[in-house]
Amino acid sequence: MATNYRQYLQPETVSKLKGMELKARMVVEGFIAGLHKSPYHGFSVEFAEHRQYMPGDNVHDIDWKVYAKTDRYYIKQYEEETNLKAYLLLDCSASMKYHSGSEISKFDYAGMLCGALSYMMLRQRDAAGLVTFDEKIRRYVPPRSKSGHLHVLLSEIANQQPSDKTDISSTLHEMAERIKRRGLVVILSDLLDEPDKIISGLRHFRYHKHEVIVFHILDPRERDFDFGGEAQFRDMETGEELSTLPFQMKKEFARKVQAFSDTIASACRQSNIDYHPIDTSMPFDQALYAFLAKRERLY
């Protein structure tokens, strides 16, 4: 792992692995191996499932197996002692199916990143939950910090298929009202919706004092529109088709996409929301660095 950790951070490599659990584990272990070789080695990557026994703790919670090995008293940590409650919001709308050339789809990228974040959170004894959505919330899995919860999250991610239209804002508003305890909200989406509505939903979380990270996931061609000659485009949510010459509109398209991203980014900065533009060719470590940086600031 130490010499080849980079390959487990490449989306194309990870996508060839079988099973969401293996994918998540390889991404996280590759990332941790990379931390020791990077300027980010100061991040906390020690994953503890026990804490030292303190006077007043219930003796029934002492882990006697650990005592036999260390001659010290440690107790098992339970959900109410978790460091953080995190909610992963995964966009499952039809537009997420898009991919260009040999790149993986936006949904596959988002799903693998979502799995890796789940794996990392639970190993750090954080509580992780999942929300899948398109026009409405499909599934809500409340946050838990027990190790067995990882299988629940990864199975749910693996069983999703993108379909239907997008209504990001309604999901954001509903979850902002539904989450009672202050936590961390992580959104993985292409954000293909009205920017004003998206911004309103994001600010709703901040109104309730939640911390927010936005991973804006696009295909590289959605940013540069570098398609070459004549092409036919089909809207993946409405089915509407359009024939055009991409090179004639390449600069204007790229300008508008950048302007859209800048609008979201500016609004996020004003509301103290972490915004990260990601494309599906990027190694996963950039997003995992962003998560760890956010987590470090919260403690």
What is the average pLDDT score of the chain?
A: 85
Note the pLDDT tens digit of each residue in 118-139.
Answer: 999 998 889 999 999 999 999 9
Residues 251 and 273 in one domain: yes
pLDDT for 62 equals 79
Q: Which residue, chain included where needed, has tokens 């199975």?
A: 155
Residue 6 lies in a domain: no
Give 131's DSSP letter: E
Q: 117: closest CA among 296, 299, 285, 274?
A: 285
Note the pLDDT tens digit of each residue in 233-271.
Answer: 666 566 676 666 555 666 777 788 899 999 999 999 999
Residues 173 and 59 in one domain: no
What gap in Å lies between CA 75 and CA 109, rounded to an integer? 38
Cα dihedral across residues 18, 48, 62, 145: positive or negative: negative
What gap in Å lies between CA 290 and CA 292, rounded to an integer? 6
Residue 147 lies in a domain: yes
Reported pTM:
0.81
Residue 17 lies in a domain: no
Note the pLDDT tens digit of each residue in 167-180.
Answer: 899 999 999 999 98
What gap in Å lies between CA 131 and CA 53, rounded to an integer? 35
CATH number where 108 lies:
3.40.50.410
Residues 246 and 141 in one domain: yes
Instruction: Domain count for the chain, please give it.
Output: 2
Q: Which residue range is the domain that position 191 belongs to?
A: 82-297
Q: Which residues contact 163 (CB under 8 A, 6 or more apart)?
A: 92, 93, 94, 134
Residues 55 and 137 in one domain: no
Residue 257 lies in a domain: yes
**pLDDT tops 80 at residue 54:** no
Residue 201 lies in a domain: yes
Residues 209 and 72 in one domain: no
Highest mean pLDDT: which of 28-32, 197-201, 239-243?
197-201
Residues 91 and 237 in one domain: yes
